[in-house]
Homo-oligomer: A and B are copies of this chain.
Amino acid sequence: MANILLLIALITGLISILAAIYFTVIVMRKDRGNEKMIEVSGYIETGAKSFLKVQYLVLGIFVLVLFIVILLFLPSKMTGHEVPILVGILNWQQAVAYLIGSGASMFAGYLGLIVGVKTNTRAAQGVTKGIKEGFDIAFFGGSVMGLAVVGVALLGVGGIYWIFAPTLGIEQATQIVLGFSFGASGIALFMKCGGGIYTKTADVGADLVGKAEYNLPEDDVRNPATIADNVGDNVGDIAGMGSDLLDSYVASIVAAMILGTTVLAAAGVRPDFVILPILLSSAGLIASLIGIFLIKYFGRDNPGKSLNMGTYLATVLFAGFAAIIIAIMISQIPSSITGSALKVTIWKYWKDYIAVVLGLLSGIVIGWTSDYYTREDKKPTKTIAHAAEEGHAVVVLSGIAYGLQSVVLPAAGIIVAMAVSFILDGVFGVAMAAVGMLAIVGTIVSNDAYGPIVDNSRAIAEQGGLGEDIIRKADTLDSAGNTAKAITKGFAIGAANLAVLALLFSFIQEAGIVSIDLLSVKVLIGAFIGVIIPALFSALLILSVQKNAAKMVKEIRRQFTENPGILEGTEPADFNRTIAIATKGALRELILPSVISIVTPILVGVIFGVASLGAFLAGAILSGFVFAIFMSNSGGSFDNAKKWIEDGNLGGKGTETHKAAITGDTVGDPLKDTAGPSINTLLVVMSLTASMFMGLLAKISSGQGILHDAWFKIEGIDNQYVWIIIVILVAAIALGILFWVIIKFARSKNIFQKILKKE
């Protein structure tokens, strides 16, 4: 029976992908509008494709290298904790799962992004028939990403488990699934950091010169960075956010599965707890699907309400479906289990159910707190807007202070969810809360992907000359996207946090760590390094945006100076060059952060041992949460304070107050769209790296770290690890040199430009 349920889950995943294709077809059949609109949309599509092309090219190398590392060096459980190459075997199952995970993430990103950029002009044209029509098109276009993400995740996780569990057993099957998760996350990190840098390079560049210096309106086609800006919205919010939530989603399921393998319930039901996370996730998918299909019947002319109604519907439906699944699972408890063992097992199911619902609710609550801190009709954003009256510096300080303050409530949400679900069912309970929070991720990603589509639609309506009335209608759609986005952003951070906590527990369990004792200085050092990483990571991303934006600014000024016809509107701006700057910059600048996210946990583990690595992860998770919420909320608040002023408050556009608010918004941009959201993915990747490399770390040292081994000359440790360290170091250096050479070469031969020009 359990297998049949698993099969149903797989079918649900398939249905989700089919639904994504169905929506794609529906949207593609819609009218693309006038010639100008098609032209502009074409530019955006080309830009998005060239971003993907360059990214996927480099990602290919990255994936290949890691594939080889996993294949040859990483001991998974099935190899008896031996380093494969040293005992003449291959860790092929996990390596292939890694490839599939990478591929699945790339596929979902590709599909979602391409459909997204094809939808914008159609939604703009739809608005001419009415807000409702425009909304439906945009929402269906966005839901392609949401459905694709959930579909590939469920198919991947469920399928891999389904294939390997019968022959290799549940422990080994979950380890292989871990490989899938690692693959999905690696891609997510690239997409999120790269997308985040891209979008803000273009946005900041377009704003600083176009808007501030030349007073061009938003989305003016004379602004050479305007297309890059539109591409950026898609790249950052569709591809980036989609892969971010995909990796949290998969990670929560995998963590729960791994923790499920040691569930102490009566024998015979253990495998059922391992697949429970998959089943619950498929229940969430069905709930999301129904919500997405029914969304057109809600709210009618109030798109913001429709989006939120869809979320709440999915929430309620999921709570119901999950109860049904629990009831079915209970009905399937083997009859050999009786008496108190039966009672305990039944109770365990219901306690996990409560944890799931609790996770779901706390996700919503965290979303609300983000909403409160970023909504223009609430105190924080109003205060920030008023602070703009005092000048540039005061508005910035306000936003920073409220952003820092806004960490408290979501943290309380996470703490309560974690504490109660732990009391209910230990670490497995916490993992189930994470699964519950992420169950309706299909809806969340759909809502989020809707945002950039309508943002682009507005731009296309403007550039296609559809007139003031249509642009105003498109604005309505756009602002609904912003409202939904505030909630989904908070949700994404909360969900990622709970997922990585679950992942931390599963890492600890798998590594057989019996204590992560802060009384040990080694462990304290691990925690210290962990706490610093999110700060360093954010700093690097902000500096990247700044560096690239400076190049963008220079290029825009150059175009305006060398070709005055652009400003007069008689000659077209050169969009390709600005797109190339954003694309190249994003790629170059994401390398260091990515390397940090993979290399640091390995180094901490090698040098200080696995317990210290656990503390490293815990430190990074906690401080990462603070930085992610701070940056995301202060950025959102700056944004809406500016919009509130632009709506005519405090003097409206063009005043000194407005200029100060723009400063706030520009400061907030890389915080909320680059650094803040990338931290989620950073945490997931670091946690997964720890889980993946743990076996190797245990081989390398006594698990106490090489410092410890060297110092205490532990008996029984042979010098095998010295060789492995050398291999790793050589591999790392080789990898670094390879990257360096490729990029140097590509730059010297202008390959990036050629790739971009070919489009």
Contacts and interface: CB of A to CB of B under 8 A. Distances in A.
A68 interface: no
Given A430-B521, A515-B519, A618-B518, A528 B414 contact: yes
B667 A521 contact: no
Interface string A490-523: 0000000000010000001000011111110110
Interface string A383-406: 000010011111011101111110
A297 interface: no
Contact of A208 (B391, B408, B414): B391
A445 to B, nearest CB: 27
Interface stretch (A82-90, A117-125, A466-474, A540-548): A540-548
B528 A519 contact: no
B532 A618 contact: no
A663 B392 contact: yes
A328 interface: no
A374 to B, nearest CB: 16
A398, A405, A524, A623 pick with most chain B CB within 10 angstroms: A524
A435 interface: no
A743 interface: no
A425 to B, nearest CB: 12
Contact of A539 (B405, B517, B532): B405
A569 to B, nearest CB: 26
B540 A405 contact: yes
A619 to B, nearest CB: 6
A431 to B, nearest CB: 12
Contacts of A625: 528, 531
Nearest to A200: B397
A111 interface: no
B539 A390 contact: no
Contact of A390 (B518, B522, B542, B553): B553
A550 interface: yes
Contact of A396 (B415, B418, B524, B667): B667
A733 interface: no
Given A392-B663, A519-B513, A539 B397 contact: no
A208, A387, A532, A542 pick with most chain B CB within 10 angstroms: A532
Contacts of A423: 711
A536 interface: yes
Nearest to A668: B393
A207 to B, nearest CB: 9
Contact of A619 (B404, B543, B622): B622
A309 interface: no
A532 to B, nearest CB: 5
A291 interface: no
A545 B400 CA distance: 13
Contacts of A516: 517-519
Nearest to A391: B208
B400 A542 contact: yes
Contacts of A525: 415, 418-419
A441 to B, nearest CB: 24
A212 B656 CA distance: 13
Interface string A615-627: 1001100110110
A115 to B, nearest CB: 33
A313 interface: no
A670 interface: yes
Contacts of A545: 397
Nearest to A631: B400
A212 B531 contact: no
A630 interface: yes
A517 B527 CA distance: 12
Given A208-B390, A390-B553, A546-B398, A528 B415 contact: yes
A326 interface: no
5 contacts: A397-B542, A397-B545, A397-B667, A405-B540, A535-B630
Given A390-B553, A400-B539, A531-B622, 8 more contacts: A392-B392, A393-B666, A398-B546, A405-B535, A419-B522, A430-B521, A535-B630, A663-B663
Interface of A: 204, 208, 212, 387, 390-394, 396-398, 400-405, 407-408, 411, 414-415, 418-419, 422-423, 427, 430, 501, 508, 513-519, 521-522, 524-525, 527-529, 531-532, 535-536, 538-540, 542-543, 545-546, 549-550, 553, 614-615, 618-619, 622-623, 625-626, 630, 660, 662-667, 670, 711
